[in-house]
Structure 1
Amino acid sequence: MSQISISHLSFNYESSYENIFEDVSFTIDSNWKLGFIGRNGRGKTTFLKLLMGLYDYAGVIAASVDFEYFPFAIQDPSQLTQTIVDAIYDDYPLWELQRELSLLNLDPELLERPFETLSRGEQTKVLLAVLFLKPNQFLLIDEPTNHLDLEGRQIVSAYLNKKQGFILVSHDRTFLDNCVDHVLSINKMNIDIQKGNYSTWLFNKQRQDQFELNQNKKLKQEIGQLKTAAKRTENWSNAVEKSKNGQRVSGLRPDRGHIGHQSAKMMKRSKSLEKRQQISVESKEKLLKNIDWADALQIRPRSYQKNRLISANNLSLYYGDQPILENLSFEINQGDRIAIVGPNGSGKSSLLKLLLGEPIRYSGSLELGSQLQLSQIPQDTDLLTGDLRDFSHGERIDESRFKTILRKLGFNREQFEKSLGSFSEGQKKKVYLARSLCQSAHLYLWDEPLNYIDVLSRIQIEELLLQTPPTMIFVEHDRSFIDHVATKIIEL
């Protein structure tokens, strides 16, 4: 076992005025299974690339192991999978590769297929198998779950649970719980390491947040009392000062020297109270430095004129002449939150596209309520262009409300000035999420809404959907989200 030491690390991009990391120091053991979490845009992938030596930085990163980053860049996916594997690392016994593939429930015969013919989940598993063939490596695994279905996530988390010596960036809470023994979190104001899995970290964070909120409530009361006392003293001081120029009493002129002295004492007391008040305000600001979800999200679902919104009977979808799914029957009634689950390629996204009115060939019956108002989150974010103002105006949503939602989801104000093309994948997904939350709809159709979205935002979204439940149908691979939110499940 060896240690990876980070000392006084500071870094910022040339295009940014703010440091992403500033004077950060901590130590990692090289045999840890380390989960890495934090809001989108806080620098998780940047930190991994700093470990790889891809950026210049201030400070020291010291390690006696080499770092290997996942996912690998594949130059020519038309090549055989075996050729892709050998290009990444070729110094291994074949039986070791076959063992790793077997642990990931993959048939070794797929090595003889072109890499591009493998599903995205199969590609992810093959590249993970290669990753763990390399000796004396500390592995930097960046969001491996994005292209894995529920079964694939279970297989990969069980696989990683048997390994050690890695940092894993993932936003899937169940996945993290199954395969990490430490958590590294990038918070609003610091970086923290805790022993345990994600659930342990969340319990400790919620307890600390609640403590800070309770202390903040006390401080607010104290500040209110200080304001009242300071204002009262200021009023006394002003009244005494005015009396210096008052009328004579019984022919006597007021003692302006004495009154001025009293006025100065009261003014000094007022300034002292004001200073105490300011110190309390500063204490409050420091106390709440790491609370990430103080403000709740909001949604405005519309009530439909009838209880039933959609009805399907013996529905089959086709890609050309090939059926994608067959003989599916279901109903969507007001208040339903329906999760569509199934392996990749089973027709989940195609079903949502059909409900949205896209030209998908089908047979059977499908009845949609008249004048049904829909709101969607697409799976693909590649079409985002321009900036947030252009986007909100083009979508005819309230710009102020739209940006307020993004602020609650962890955006900083500097992000509002950037082009959408420069956003991370998680930030792009949040743009579509915020758009949907701005739209008042009868039915919300969300296709993998949590892809790339950080765990803290997932908790916010869950709480929103449970407190103000809309009628919705969604595709998602996050087991924790499905268990908490779904009222019904359609399994393909």
Structure 2
Amino acid sequence: MFLLKANNLAVEIAGQKLFENVSIEIKEQERIALIGENGIGKTTLIKVLLGRLPAQSGHVQYGVNKKEIGYMVQENQRDNGTVMDFVIANHPNAVIKNELTHYSQLLAEQPEDLQVIEEYNKRLQKYLDVHGYDWEMNVEKTLKQLGIPEPLWYLPYANLSGGQKTRVKLARVLLQSPKLIILDEPTNHLDIESIHWLEDWLLNFKGSVLFISHEREFIDHVATSTYELTKSGTKKYSGGYFSYKQQKEHEYKTMQKLYEKQEQERKKLLETITQYKQWYDKANAGASVRDPYAQKKAAKQATKMKAKEKVLERLEKEKIDKPELTKTISTNFVSDDFGGRKMLELINVTFSYSTMPIFSNVYLELNWRDRLAVVGPNGSGKTTLLQLMAGILEPDCGQVRRNPQLKIGYFFQELENLNFENSILDEILMIPNITQADARTILACFLFRREDVFKKISTLSMGEKCRVAFVKLYFSNANLLVLDEPTNYFDIPTRETIENALIVYPGSIVLVAHDPYLLRKVANKVAYIKKGKVDYYPGSYHEWEKHQTFSNPVQLMMNKLEKLQLRYTQLMTDENVDPAQEESRLAEVKKIRVEIEEIEKKLIE
């Protein structure tokens, strides 16, 4: 059974076609990733699917009530209320509850006022009719299920971390009892630990999910299928991102073979037509009115030539364009002679903001060609460490030693190094000793092609501006790139371009990112920040991940315990259990309870 189905959707914005021929179907218990380049219209498509925007053509069918579709938006909603206010906002029961609270307060002040008593009783009866107190219990149960502890419920929503806000937004969606959840960039502003929590939660969700994401590992872990959106339509691929890439590579090879076969056939046809034409011209020149044989021969060659021309015409109509691969970074850098010398060193560095300590007694060194990944939970001090390295901040105690030859390029989201009145090409031509031909080649490598290079910086999306800023920094004379979340706002093709650029970069790199794909490809050293400490690991990010798993059995048990508790809570709070499945549900509850008790026992020991 399908929950939602769209056929041949086309959307225009300000008279310009955004996309066409878009079809998508979401079935029960499917988890679908929607991917595509920035600006292609993924969020617009979701709004069309929800009925919030019109399509110029095509139609959307619903297999469920629209109220059973939950939508978690990309933007961080501004809200001055508490967490509880945010969660219950816009729910019909919340309106009645607020009225009941109002008259309850009036009744406490005017206990003898008959009109107040009457109004209070009306609201109370109305609240009982909609099972308001059961609803309140469900709200609390949902918050607990999503790991939002009671002390947070009445704190300002605006004060929460990115991960906490995601959980709260999910709670608001879940109170609709949705059969389908639509998520727009749900991993934005989440650290790696929070992303893993969200993956586990979605894998245990009994309904269907449609989500937009540029996080490749998240897609791999969650998606059962992937839709790619382009201007010319959608195409469905089985599995997550890795599976999608394999299928795309197979498509490319197949299309390349078809293209080569077509070009060979085309070449052969042109040669045959040329030959027939020569024979015709020769036969026609030798023919005369009194030589019917020569005339017949010329006519025969003309017929053959026209037949081949028709075959060529048909081939041209069905022509397959040459499949293109994205250009990769290929450039000759002039490398500084740093040899094996130390570039930067933090010696017993301590830093705090006012009275809030961030870390203390940090020792860290960076050598030539090191690619250091700085990882840790949100708020642990990753950006602070980068700014200490770059000299933007000074330590309270200790010192930061920098090699006199060190030239730092610092990337952050403020984009202060861009002139918004310049075109993209003009901005890149500001790089010393660069020609226009080189600039256009570089921009093509970073996915700015043809007329795109003449766009003004001020008209670009945030992702495009970040891309221009990265190109300028990358080709500056810096020999150390300090990159704070360089792939935020980037789509998957851009992320892969940035990865390839960083792999061939000849200097050193310090990098903060929440993208494991990027970190595994680039990093050869890791600094892990947690609870005021910076642990240095002299190996790749992939090796560090394995080291974390095997060297910390307590953390391993804690991770397993968290997953079991999440599943246990979902089973216990599920009110829509099929009676036929009740026995198997109780068996799973019992099994999980035993596993939880065993782990808790080991942790106490």
Letter in 2 for 1:50: V
Count how many residue pairs are aligned between Structure 1 and Structure 2: 476
> Residue 190 of structure 1 is aligned with which of 233, 249, 252?
233
CA distance in structure 2 between the partners assigned to 1:13 and 1:224 by the alignment: 42
Letter in 1 for 2:387: K
SS of 1:147's equivalent?
Answer: coil
Say if 1:89 and 1:130, in contact at 8 Å, map to a contact too.
no
SS of 1:366's equivalent?
Answer: strand
Residue 151 of structure 1 deviates from its aligned partner by: 0.6
Partner of 1:134: 176
Return closer, same or farther for 1:481/1:440 CA change in 2, 3 Å cut-off: same
Partner of 2:14: 14
SS of 1:145's equivalent?
Answer: coil
Letter in 2 for 1:296: T
Alignment of 1:271-420 (within 5 A): 285-286=320-321, 288=323, 293-298=325-330, 301-306=333-338, 307-308=340-341, 309-380=343-414, 385-386=420-421, 387-389=423-425, 391-392=427-428, 401=438, 404-410=441-447, 416=453, 419-420=456-457
TM-score if structure 1 supplies the norm length?
Answer: 0.82
Say if 1:36 and 1:183, in contact at 8 Å, map to a contact too.
yes
SS of 2:23's equivalent?
Answer: strand
Partner of 2:164: 122
Structure 2 regions of 5+ residues with no counterpart? 94-133, 530-605
Residue 489 of structure 1 deviates from its aligned partner by: 0.9
Q: Which deviates more, 277-286 or 208-217?
A: 277-286
CA distance in structure 2 between the partners assigned to 1:141 and 1:216 by the alignment: 39
Alignment of 1:233-272 (within 5 A): none
TM-score if structure 2 supplies the norm length?
Answer: 0.68
CA distance in structure 1 between the partners assigned to 2:30 and 2:479 by the alignment: 47
Letter in 2 for 1:190: G
Return closer, same or farther for 1:103/1:304 CA change in 2, 3 Å cut-off: farther
Residue 167 of structure 1 deviates from its aligned partner by: 1.0
Partner of 1:152: 194
Letter in 1 for 2:403: G
CA distance in structure 1 between the partners assigned to 2:437 and 2:152 by the alignment: 51
Aligned-pair identity (%):
26
SS of 2:335's equivalent?
Answer: coil
> Residue 24 of structure 2 is aligned with which of 23, 26, 36?
26
SS of 1:480's equivalent?
Answer: helix
Residue 354 of structure 1 deviates from its aligned partner by: 3.2
Return closer, same or farther for 1:281/1:478 CA change in 2, 3 Å cut-off: farther
Residue 270 of structure 1 deviates from its aligned partner by: 8.0
Say if 2:409 and 2:481, in contact at 8 Å, map to a contact too.
yes
Question: Which has the larger Rg?
Answer: 2
Deviations 1:201-231 (A, max 9, x none): 2221222122223433444555566667777
Return closer, same or farther for 1:99/1:433 CA change in 2, 3 Å cut-off: farther
Say if 1:317 and 1:363, in contact at 8 Å, map to a contact too.
yes
Residue 145 of structure 1 deviates from its aligned partner by: 1.0
Deviations 1:109-162 (A, max 9, x none): 111211122122221221122222212453221111120011111111111111
Letter in 1 for 2:37: R
Deviations 1:332-370 (A, max 9, x none): 222222111011112212222333332444432222222
Partner of 1:174: 217
Partner of 1:65: 65
Higher helix share: 2
CA distance in structure 2 between the partners assigned to 1:101 and 1:338 by the alignment: 38
> Residue 524 of structure 2 is aligned with which of 479, 487, 490?
487
CA distance in structure 1 between the partners assigned to 2:314 and 2:345 by the alignment: 62
CA distance in structure 2 between the partners assigned to 1:346 and 1:65 by the alignment: 43
SS of 1:166's equivalent?
Answer: strand
CA distance in structure 2 between the partners assigned to 1:152 and 1:199 by the alignment: 22
CA distance in structure 2 between the partners assigned to 1:116 and 1:255 by the alignment: 93
Letter in 1 for 2:238: K
Q: Which has the higher contact order (CA 8 A, sep 6+)?
A: 1
Return closer, same or farther for 1:230/1:321 CA change in 2, 3 Å cut-off: farther
Structure 1 regions of 5+ residues with no counterpart? 245-253
CA distance in structure 2 between the partners assigned to 1:354 and 1:275 by the alignment: 71
> Residue 84 of structure 2 is aligned with which of 82, 85, 89?
82
Return closer, same or farther for 1:314/1:274 CA change in 2, 3 Å cut-off: farther
SS of 1:297's equivalent?
Answer: coil
Return closer, same or farther for 1:31/1:277 CA change in 2, 3 Å cut-off: same
Deviations 1:408-429 (A, max 9, x none): 5555656556554554443333
SS of 2:71's equivalent?
Answer: strand
CA distance in structure 2 between the partners assigned to 1:327 and 1:432 by the alignment: 34
CA distance in structure 1 between the partners assigned to 2:457 and 2:73 by the alignment: 23
CA distance in structure 2 between the partners assigned to 1:46 and 1:382 by the alignment: 30
Please provide the CA RMSD for this pair: 3.8
Residue 283 of structure 1 deviates from its aligned partner by: 5.4
